[in-house]
Structure 1
Amino acid sequence: MENIYDIHLDKNEANYEPLSPLSFIKRTAMVYPDRPSVIHGDKTFTWKETYERSVRLASALTKAGIKKGDTVAVMGNNTPETYEAHFGVPMCGAVLNTLNIRLDAEAIAFILQHGEAKIVFTDREFSDTTKRAIARLERKPLIIDIDDPYAIGGELIGMEDYESFIAKGDADFEWEGPADEWDAISLNYTSGTTGNPKGVVYHHRGAYLNAIGNALDWNMKQHPVYLWTLPMFHCNGWCFPWTLAAKAGTNICLRRVNAKNIYEAIADHKVTNFCGAPIVLSFVINATEEEKKPFDHKCDIMTAAAPPPASVLKAIQDEGFDVTHAYGLTETYGPAVFCAWKEEWNELPIERQAYQKSRQGVRYTLEEGLMIADSETTIEKPWDGESMGEVCFRGNIVMKGYLKNPTATDEAFKGGWFHSGDLGVKHPDGYIQLKDRSKDIIISGGENISSIEVEDTLYRHPDVAAVAVVAKPDEKWGETPAAFIELNPGAGNVTEEDLIKHCRDNLAHFKCPRTIIFQELPKTSTGKIQKFVLRDALKKEAGLL
């Protein structure tokens, strides 16, 4: 028997529209045309202007021969041009590839070749890297310069600059949204620590939903003032370019991210929100009195870093900041898990609050599934806070897959879930807590030691600025924890013995590092600590490499 709800109740143009974040800017430009959209130095754009410039960009790209499914790359800083590309590029059906400006020419060349970029917009400050990358390619893309007045050095290497390029576009260009919300909107490359990075493909539906998820789960008010401390090239700025369009907010561009500039922007522009990796949070926490500028409003920070210890959490709250801890991957459009705060936790001692905040938390409202499971069987682990398994995701804010890499895509989606490679536990209240990357677990005398647990303990020492704990080969135990430490500026005469004692006072003794090494930590271009470099150094020392 035919279902009565299927009879003459079909999708049509009146009742169905593919989801796309492009709809946000069109609406906001109509409803709030004169509100400030982007502020960059002494230049302020309105939403009407940003929309028209994005449309002109789409038109100019079309005139330059860009078609649906073509890749357009941007080697840009957090400037209006990079922001406009998040709308103008997909408006003409193309796919946006924001390049990591910290990569070397060889890595950029690989990405441009693998993604088959037809046009590259390059900020003049990064022109040397771009030029050397292009020289490695057999098929050369068209180069357009971003001649930002706040860039330092660099030359113009393109056929023309961004302003003259979009001037050729039509302001009344009739762009269309995607015919299918599954169409690709952007291409982001993982910051792999070994081998070539993988190209992660986002679709319009996922970008739309994660942009809304950011606003919904972070409780962003209408017309937020957002400071760009997070690079727009990183997971499309965690989808916040589209979030800010949906909320009719104001984007404050910040080309030089340091403590002084952060505090000045917060005070001068009344910044309400910004996101930060570990280094950004460190700028805020360790700012000198000379770098600070007082402000009289609350500013919300979303961080995907290790949460600060209790003493730092209290200090940063006293400064007027509220920290939300989030977690995600390139493959999940940035943050897809957050520590949803409960009012009753406000009554807890600050140390207990810090513990609650240290948990990564629960899935975004618009993500459908999050579990801790056996990596091989994909069977969920008990909610006991002890049974360790792999963090797995399912839902609309999971990538389409890896570009031109079906093997890696199939492996990532084994069992109908996205396998993150991160290990964690789920507590009885449903909140997950990361314990380690699968490759970072230390197995000492048959006991599993979470490097994250040891790192969290060391971070609670007031003199520790950054730490990485890795396995050190040991003839008796197989492996033992070794801690590489960066100290805070002005730290006292802290010794190896001091830090080992600190760990022994707070951890089971078998988990404590037996070796402390003071040095600068090697990091990827996105600020992630390269533990493999440290592991290899210890293996070489032991004669195993």
Structure 2
Amino acid sequence: MTEQLPPPLTPVTFLERCGRFYGERTAVNFNGNLISFEKMLARCKSAAQFLIDKGVEDGTKISLISTNNIAVIESHFFVPASQAVLVTINPTLSISEILYQVVFSKSRFVITTDKFYRLYQEELNELREGNDITFVIYSDSDDHQEENEQLFNYSTMINWVSNIASLDGLINSELSPIGINFTSGTTGNPKAVVFTHRAAYLQAMGQCLLMKLDRHSIYYCMLPLFHGNGWFHIWANIAVGAKQILFTKISSSSLVDDLIKHSVTHCAGSPRLLSKLFEGTPGNQLKGMTVMTGGAAPTSELIENMEYHGIELIQQYGLNESCATFTVTEKDDNWQSYDLNEKVHALSKQGIPAIHAGYGLRVVNDEGKDVERDAESVGEIWLRGNTISEGYYGNEKETSKSYLGGWFRTGDLAVMDKSGSIVLKDRIKDTFFIETADGWLNVSTLEVERVISQCDCVNDIAVVGLVDPSSGSNILVAFVETDSTTSYQSEIREFCKSNLGEYQVPTLIVKTLLPKTATGKIQKHRLKVLNVEEYMASQVFESF
């Protein structure tokens, strides 16, 4: 008797289900245009068939380079439905980094916007011709590209004649890769995180539980969806049949009005992005909304505003390697009796493993032993569970270093209290979160150093992340050693603009003698405790 295996776990199934049983309900309100689940399912079946007819096979890589639009959401379904792997690339990086990631991932297709294509048409045409890559161009308007064998319009793809019976029908294994996310815009040592259909499915279901999403939920897309697949909320919302409100651009001046107008129940974003909710006077009209945050601990002001306006705040911790959320700060039975300081203290923790993560959480010292649960002993966070990624694509060295014995070594330092909650203390890895108008981005300070060190006037450099005391924002500061007394400022400025993405450019550049050990190693920890105000008051830096 032949063993009948259950169908593989894949988030692609979510859209097939909603298309069949919630067909006429609105899946996405995109710039005022309502797209039903039934219509989205049909569009995705057409797009998947198009990719198959154009030669996509099991494991083919397809790069997505785009800011928020309907194509981003739909790509998360039709790309894996064709058995391809979705490679999401940050469009705010420099064009050289973007091209490198496309080539490094061996992508055969690129889906991008007409705006991006026109901006970098010369570079993208060279990429297309030199690597046999087919482009699919999305446009919000009727202004389409002239098509050829390596260039198609998105509208052509979603109107292709399809023979696909069920969107998830071609997926053979839940352990097959579904996506690749780059941890940073590095070109020297790329770390492209590979994760499976199973991991994506379980993370999406976990988000449904954490945020209490259901088919009556109305989710406002504040996050840049290219960042960690929008914390997997793209798949989570389709899983339960929730409505997503999506705009190409979000206006901070009309944000609260939009939330009220659309009766939004859920959203997510960095603490800085969420602070925009209270720039106006929302009154009690946002009461009952659920908001998830991460990347940095919420400020006391944000927590106070959330409490005052009756908004549920969820604090979580995760990485690309854990497919977004792994731990969450749970509010205990005494939460309502806590004063503000006690609530701030509680939400400063990164918490315990979320329900979908299991219990694979350790804080390990240099001797490989678990630290005491005393909230003082520092160790490295190790993670294990069903949503941990498979490793780094094309980088066996880093994979073997970080994934050992079934555990992922995060490179993040933390303590653990008696309840098992972790509190993040520092990062072993030289990365830093930069908060932007669209959310937070993870910037590699090593990459910024590598680029600026190539500037002729720079003898040595160290880039660190600091907090601007005047605004509370995270900023990058470049400390440079140079023999130049005048022209170095303009030289470095122009060099950064030509070779780095917008958010990789340091806010401040400081001419100084770098603190070093006897062997010449830069002591970054000494730079990280410096008072930014002193530099801002001095005349030895240039502000970009």
Cα separation, partners in 2 of 1:305 and 1:282, compared to 1, 3 Å: farther
2:369 to 379, 384, 388: 379
Determine helix, strand or coil for the equivalent of 2:237.
Answer: helix
**Alignment partners' CA distance in 2, 1:41 and 1:534:** 33
Letter in 2 for 1:338: V
Post-superposition CA distance 1:348-385 (Å, at most 9, x none): 11210111011010112121344343355432111111
Tell me the equivalent position of 2:255: 262
Which whole-Å CA distance do the structure 2 matches of 1:382 and 1:259 have between them? 45
Partner of 2:153: 161
Please point out which of 144, 153, 173 is paired with 2:136: 144
> Are the equivalent residues in 1 in contact too, given 2:87–2:179 (CA < 8 A)?
yes
| In 1: Cα distance, 2:74 partner to 2:146 partner | 20
Code of the aligned partner of 2:193: V
Aligned-partner Cα distance in 2 for 1:482–1:55: 45
Going from structure 1 to structure 2, the CA distance change for 1:74 and 1:385 (only over 3 Å counts) comes to same
Aligned to 1:71: 61
Query: d(CA) in 1 for partners of 2:259 and 2:208?
Result: 19
Residue 190 to residue 35, structure 1, CA distance change in 2 (3 Å) = same
* Distance change (3 Å), C-alpha of 1:350 and 1:112: same
- Tell me the equivalent position of 2:126: 135
Shift of 1:222: 3.5
C-alpha distance 174-415 of structure 1, shift in aligned 2 (>3 A) = closer
2:188 paired residue number: 195
Residue 56 of structure 2 corresponds to residue 56 of structure 1: no
Q: 1:350-369 residue pairs with structure 2 within 5 A?
A: 350-369=340-359
Count of residue pairs brought into register by the alignment = 462
Unaligned runs of 5+ in 2: 434-442, 446-463, 473-495, 523-544
- For 1:139-538, list aligned pairs within 5 A: 139-149=131-141, 159-170=151-162, 172-175=164-167, 176-192=169-185, 195-285=188-278, 287-289=279-281, 295=285, 297-374=287-364, 376-438=366-428, 484-485=467-468, 487-488=470-471, 537=510
Partner SS for 2:9:
coil
Query: SS at the partner of 1:391?
Result: strand
Cα displacement (A) at 1:192: 5.0
SS in 1 for 2:380: strand
- Separation in 1, partners of 2:144, 2:254: 22
Q: Matched residue of 1:343: which SS? A: coil
> 1:240/1:134 Cα in 2 relative to 1: closer, same or farther (>3 Å)?
farther
Query: 2:138 is aligned with what amino acid?
Result: I
Quote the offset at 1:98 in angstroms. Answer: 1.8
SS at structure 2 position matched to 1:252: strand
CA contact (8 A) 2:292 2:315 kept: yes
Show the 5 A alignment for 1:5-154: 11-13=3-5, 16-127=6-117, 128-129=119-120, 131-136=122-127, 138-149=130-141
Aligned with 1:420: secondary structure?
strand
CA distance in 1, matches of 2:135, 2:425: 44
Distance 1:92 1:349, change over 3 A: same
Secondary structure in structure 1 of the residue aligned to 2:334 = helix
Q: Which moved more, 1:318-327 or 1:383-392?
A: 318-327
Residue 283 of structure 1: how far off its partner (Å): 2.5
Residue type of the alignment partner of 1:246: A
SS in structure 2 at match of 1:27: helix
- Whichever residue aligns with residue 145 of structure 1, its letter is I
Q: 1:418 to 1:173 in 2, by over 3 A?
A: same
Secondary structure of the equivalent of 2:67?
A: coil
Per-residue CA distance 1:227-249 (angstroms, 9 max, x = gap): 11112211111111111111100
Q: How many angstroms apart in 1 are the aligned matches of 2:271 and 2:513?
A: 29
Q: Within 1, Cα distance between the matches of 2:103 and 2:112?
A: 16
Q: Which amino acid aligns with 1:366?
A: H
Is the alpha carbon distance of 1:181 and 1:483 closer, same or farther for their aligned partners in structure 2, counting shifts above 3 Å?
A: closer
Deviations 1:80-112 (A, max 9, x none): 111111110111101111221111110111111
Kindly state the Cα deviation for residue 167 of structure 1 after the two structures are TM-superposed. Answer: 1.4
Q: 1:6-33, CA deviations, whole angstroms, 9 ceiling, x for partnerless residues?
A: xx8x8514xx222111111111112211
1:509 matched to which residue of 2? none
8 Å Cα contact 2:144-2:153 kept in structure 1 = no
Q: Distance in 1 between matches of 2:346 and 2:412?
A: 20
Cα 1:178–1:131, aligned 2, differ >3 Å: closer, same or farther?
farther
Aligned Cα RMSD in Å? 3.4
Q: Are 1:56 and 1:173, in contact at CA under 8 Å, matched by a contact in 2?
A: no
Tell me which residue corresponds to 2:484: none
Normalising by structure 2, what TM-score? 0.77
Structure-1 separation of matches of 2:268 and 2:94: 25
CA pair 483-307 structure 1, distance change in 2 beyond 3 A: closer
Q: 1:315 to 1:193 in 2, by over 3 A?
A: farther
Report the AA paired with residue 177 of structure 2. Answer: A
Consecutive unaligned residues in structure 1, runs of 5 or more? 1-7, 442-450, 453-467, 471-480, 490-521
Check the 8 A contact 2:86/2:180 in 1, yes or no: yes
Map of 1:473 onto structure 2: none
Q: Could you tell me how far 1:335 is from its partner in structure 2? A: 1.4
Inter-CA distance 192–76: structure 2 relative to 1 (3 Å threshold): closer
* Equivalent pair of 1:104/1:129 in contact (CA under 8 Å): no
Sequence identity (%): 25
1:313 & 1:488 partners in 2: Cα distance?
A: 17
Alpha-carbon spacing, 1:363–1:130, altered in 2? closer, same or farther (3 Å): farther
* One-letter amino acid matched to 1:178: I
1:540–1:225 CA distance, 2 compared to 1 (3 A): farther
CA distance in 2, matches of 1:56, 1:35: 20
